[in-house]
Chain A
Amino acid sequence: MLVGLGVLALLMILSLAGVVVVGGIDVASLNAGHVVFALLASLMILSALGVILNRSPIRSALSLVVTLFLLAVTFVSLNAYVVAMLQVIVYAGAIMVLFLFVIMLLNLQEDRPAMARAGVRGAAAVVGSLFLLAAAHFVAHPLGGTQAAAALPAGFGSIEQLAENLFTRSLLAFEVTSILLLVAIVGAVVLAKRKLE
């Protein structure tokens, strides 16, 4: 218990230091938002690593649930309340239950050690460094407008605003989405049938 709290405090300090250094923020202007972001970001990266490093698929799935929940909290801190709610219901609820259900249905054993072949390892290293290079680019050239957060329009991220956009400007995409879901339902049922007749 005490060790856990100590590790959490250390993680907190480290991630806050990371945010200050990477974000180029004055230590004097640190506020609760930064602290929350630092904690969320560090836990999210840890749990995302848990997804790909765990041998057992069940543990991977549970790590993914943690990541998705933390992402929902991040959405709330970005004033995207409806999206955060959908994130919990759709991802952490429906999709993860589906994953766990399939893992348990197939009764999977532990995976053999990952990263066996040198070629795959090399490809992963190249792709990883490329994307981290992209991240480094944002560090080197931060976008302006840090203070754009000043005044949000009233009701930003509310279900009314989202629905207004969804049913006017994005109406066609919305309707196409319903067809996509119908096709997915039919496809899933057909694939899961034992015999096609």
Chain B
Amino acid sequence: MTLVPIHLYLILGAILFTIGCIGVLVRRNVIVIFMSIELMLNAVNLVFVAFSRHLQSTEGQVTVFFVMTVAAAEAAVGLAIIIAAFRNRETVNADELNFLRW
């Protein structure tokens, strides 16, 4: 039924990725930065699935499966790091979390 041309999905993916990218740059709350990263990963997932439909191959969907796994692992470890950092510094502001700088 759907005959939505693939470049519309690509444009939507690009817009979502752009929004995520801008979020990473302008926000200072580490957790919101993390959410913006998830947004970017999902924009890429959308492009993978759109191409999988376009080329009628499941490769793209399998790749999305792996992206989701990596995103889940990243969220678990990243949020654990945020909690550990918050314990030490009492902040989640990216400007104040500079203890990796030397």
In the complex, how many residues of chain A place their beta carbon closer than 8 angstroms to a beta carbon of chain B?
93
- 9 inter-chain pairs at a CB distance below 8 angstroms, sorted by A residue, are A51-B23, A71-B45, A78-B2, A91-B68, A108-B92, A127-B18, A138-B14, A187-B76, A191-B77
Given contacts A156-B58, A173-B66, A177-B69, contact A120 B80 (CB under 8 A): no
- CB < 8 Å neighbour of A111 from B27, B45, B66: B27
Cα distance A149–B16 when bound, in Å? 24
Cα distance A147–B64 when bound, in Å? 24
Given contacts A146-B3, A184-B73, contact A99 B31 (CB under 8 A): yes
Given contacts A33-B2, A44-B16, contact A121 B49 (CB under 8 A): no
In the complex, how many residues of chain B place their beta carbon closer than 8 angstroms to a beta carbon of chain A?
70
Cα distance A135–B92 when bound, in Å? 33
Cα distance A74–B13 when bound, in Å? 12
- A contacts with B: majority SS: helix
Indicate if the CB atoms of A111 and B80 lie closer than 8 Å. Answer: no
Cα distance A173–B5 when bound, in Å? 31
Cβ–Cβ < 8 Å partners of A22 in chain B: 8, 11
B residues neighboring A (CB under 8 Å): 1-12, 14-23, 25-29, 31-32, 34-36, 38-39, 42, 45-46, 49-50, 52-56, 58-59, 61-62, 64-66, 68-77, 79-84, 86-87, 92
Cα distance A97–B25 when bound, in Å? 24
Within 8 A of B (CB), among A27-80: 29, 31-34, 36-37, 41, 44-45, 48-49, 51-52, 57, 60-61, 64, 67-68, 71, 74-75, 77-80
Indicate if the CB atoms of A138 and B10 lie closer than 8 Å. Answer: yes
Within 8 A of B (CB), among A109-128: 111-112, 114-115, 120-121, 123-124, 127-128
- CB < 8 Å neighbour of A41 from B8, B35, B71: B8
- B contacts with A: majority SS: helix
Cα distance A15–B71 when bound, in Å? 30
Cα distance A194–B13 when bound, in Å? 40
Any B CB within 8 A of the CB of A3: no
- CB < 8 Å neighbour of B26 from A80, A82, A114: A114
Indicate if the CB atoms of A19 and B8 lie closer than 8 Å. Answer: yes
Cβ–Cβ < 8 Å partners of A17 in chain B: none
Cα distance A95–B26 when bound, in Å? 23
Cα distance A152–B57 when bound, in Å? 10
Given contacts A95-B71, A149-B53, contact A51 B35 (CB under 8 A): yes
Cα distance A49–B32 when bound, in Å? 12
